[in-house]
């Protein structure tokens, strides 16, 4: 797949469903889907970079491109 949106379409075509439509994050796009057996999956496209650093509480504070 070339994108999260393409992956969501492929899941639908294979009998699954989209639980949460694709949306933007600081590192790319995310979609939450369920396969034909109703297993929930989170698909993350890292097209904009990766999360790199966290603070003492574990919150993400940095994104590398």
pLDDT of residue 3: 93
Please answer whether residues 65 and 48 qualify as being in contact, where contact means their C-beta atoms are separated by less than 8 angstroms: yes
State the pLDDT at residue 58. Answer: 80
Rounded CA separation 46/27 (Å): 5
Give me the pLDDT at residue 63, please: 81
Q: Which residues of the chain have pLDDT under 70?
A: none
Six-digit token string for 2: 């070339």
Can you give the pLDDT at residue 37?
A: 95
pLDDT at 51: 83
Identify the CATH number of the domain in which residue 27 sits. Answer: 3.10.180.10
For position 12, what pLDDT does the model report?
Answer: 96
How many independent structural domains does the chain possess?
Answer: 1
The boundaries of the domain holding residue 43 are 4-64
pLDDT for position 8? 96
Please report the sign of the dihedral spanned by the C-alpha atoms of residue 14, residue 16, residue 44, residue 23: positive
């Amino acid at each position: 797949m070339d994108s999260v949106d393409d992956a969501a379409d492929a899941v639908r075509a294979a009998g699954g469903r989209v639980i949460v439509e694709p949306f933007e994050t600081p590192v790319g796009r995310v979609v939450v889907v369920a396969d034909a057996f109703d297993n929930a999956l989170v698909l993350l496209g890292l097209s904009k970079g990766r999360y790199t650093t966290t603070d003492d509480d574990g919150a993400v504070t940095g994104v590398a491109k």
